[in-house]
Amino acid sequence: MEVILKQDVEHLGFANDVVKVRDGYARNFLLPRKLAVPATPSERKQLAETLKQRAHKEAQIREEAERNAAKLAGQVIKITAKVGEKGRIFGSVNTIMLSDALQALGVEVDRKHIKIKGEAIKTIGKYEAEVTFHREVVKVIPFEVVEE
């Protein structure tokens, strides 16, 4: 029996995949738990329309992510921090500070999508961070930690 998955099912497939499974597995497990629906012609047509709309939305989201990445091209972000003797920072620079600095430039990025390269930043200087704007748009952004 062919079914269209409504949710991700481990070891079987992802949402909106058309998969072939045994009749008993479909009737006794997938269908009662609403994890899948039978792959009838009308359901297939509805799936095609859903995928078409999702592709259009995905293209718009990707374009916006590329525009945000282009805004940061060539800019060096400066993060200020309190500095003690020998140029050491009190605490360390983290993704929250970098996210706030990007937001000040007009680019909204969740801190979970920022990865600072290397170890914890505890001194002033120049560093790089990898920012994921979209799963296909990942940019390396230089930033500088300066004394407050």
CA-CA distance, 129 to 120, in Å (whole number)?
Answer: 12
% of the chain with per-residue pLDDT over 90:
49
Query: Nearest Cα to 92, choosing from 130, 120, 128, 127?
Result: 120
Regarding whether 75 and 99 lie in a shared domain, the answer is yes
CA dihedral 56, 141, 119, 109 (to 10 degrees): -40
Q: How does DSSP classify residue 119?
A: S
CA-CA distance, 139 to 148, in Å (whole number)?
Answer: 27
Regarding whether 42 and 107 lie in a shared domain, the answer is no
The predicted structure's pLDDT at residue 25: 96
The boundaries of the domain holding residue 79 are: 69-147
Regarding whether 47 and 22 lie in a shared domain, the answer is yes
The predicted structure's pLDDT at residue 19: 96
Regarding whether 143 and 74 lie in a shared domain, the answer is yes
Regarding whether 87 and 20 lie in a shared domain, the answer is no
pLDDT in tens, 54-75: 888 989 999 999 988 888 887 8
Residue 120 — very low, low, confident or very high, per pLDDT cuts 50/70/90?
confident
Regarding whether 141 and 74 lie in a shared domain, the answer is yes
Helix (H, G, I), strand (E, B) or coil at 82: coil
Residue 105 burial (C-beta neighbours within 10 Å; 0-12, 13-18, 19+): exposed
Give the neighbor-by-neighbor strand order of the sheet with 114-116. 77-81, 137-147, 125-134, 114-116
Q: 0.95 cut: is pTM over it?
A: no
Q: Of the candidates 45, 64, 83, which is a domain's last residue?
A: 64
Please give the radius of gyration of the chain, using alpha carbons only, rounded to the nearest integer.
23
Query: Nearest Cα to 5, choosing from 42, 44, 41?
Result: 44
CA-CA distance, 108 to 101, in Å (whole number)?
Answer: 10
Regarding whether 47 and 34 lie in a shared domain, the answer is yes
Q: What is the mean pLDDT of the chain?
A: 90
If one counts the domains in the chain, the total is 2
User: Which contiguous run of DSSP H or E holds residue 71?
Assistant: helix 41-72
pLDDT(148) > 90: no
pLDDT(135) > 80: no
